Amino acid sequence: MFKVLKARFRQKYRTGKFPESAPPNLPPHFCGVPEIHPGAEKPGLAEVCPTGAISVVPDLTLDLGRCIFCGKCAEHSPEAVRFTREYRMGTARRESLVLSGRPYAADAEFDAGIRKLYGHSLKIRQVSAGGCAACELDFNVLHTLAWDMGRFGIQAVASPRHADCILVTGPVSRNMLTALQKTFEAMPRPNLVIACGTCAVSGGLFAGSPEVNGALDGILPVDLYVPGCPPHPATLLEALLRFIGRKA
């Protein structure tokens, strides 16, 4: 016990001040919400996107739910697409992720009923439905000392019977469909569903494959969409806090 206390004293306080001192310390190469400028695109812009997130007919749009933030569109047409440092992307509406010339605005707040039920405690069962482990790892980061999402009353649980919501990552592979549905059915009601990452939101790079079921909202009722490939820990934690009406 003495050794534990000694180590704790030597290490000092390691948890970051996010969200009190927002924005968080983002890496130099971080790609946040893009700015779209219709009419400034170069020919062939839609073709450079590996997931079909960009459409130029009738006007330029970019679907954040399909975007993997590779930056190829910005390299091709920097006057039309520019990735910002804005990390707040979580939304309750799938259509809000389709960007045009209007500035992107994250939902100021979510359903008051969610805030009333889960504002002080949210138990999450994470389900990897065929993911590559990137989204899963960045969700796990939120359990570490640096982020410590437990200080907000948000915790991961081992059983869906103890969960308020499931956080799904991956494009829902054919082999994971039944397991995902059984997990959802095992949860007590009312329950919530979070689509975490581009694969869960739209199928991502795997959309259209016969081995995946694609967008999660075609299988379960989704309450929160968090795009990204993978979503930065700050993006996911901020969305979760706003989702349950917590500020700090």
In a domain, 206, yes or no: yes
Q: Which domain holds residue 122?
A: 112-243
Long-range pairs for 22-31 at CB < 8 Å and ≥24 separation?
Answer: 22/238, 23/85, 23/87, 23/234, 24/87, 24/232, 24/234, 26/85, 26/87, 26/232, 26/234, 30/85, 30/87, 30/232, 31/69, 31/71, 31/83
- CATH code for the domain in which residue 224 is found: 3.40.50.12280
Q: How many domains does the chain have?
A: 1
The pLDDT tens digits for 93-141 are 999 999 998 878 777 667 777 888 888 899 999 999 999 999 999 999 9
* CA dist 159 → 16, 178, 185, 187 (Å): 29, 16, 12, 9
Global pTM reads: 0.92
In a domain, 120, yes or no: yes
The pLDDT tens digits for 37-55 are 999 999 999 999 999 999 9
In a domain, 65, yes or no: no
In a domain, 152, yes or no: yes
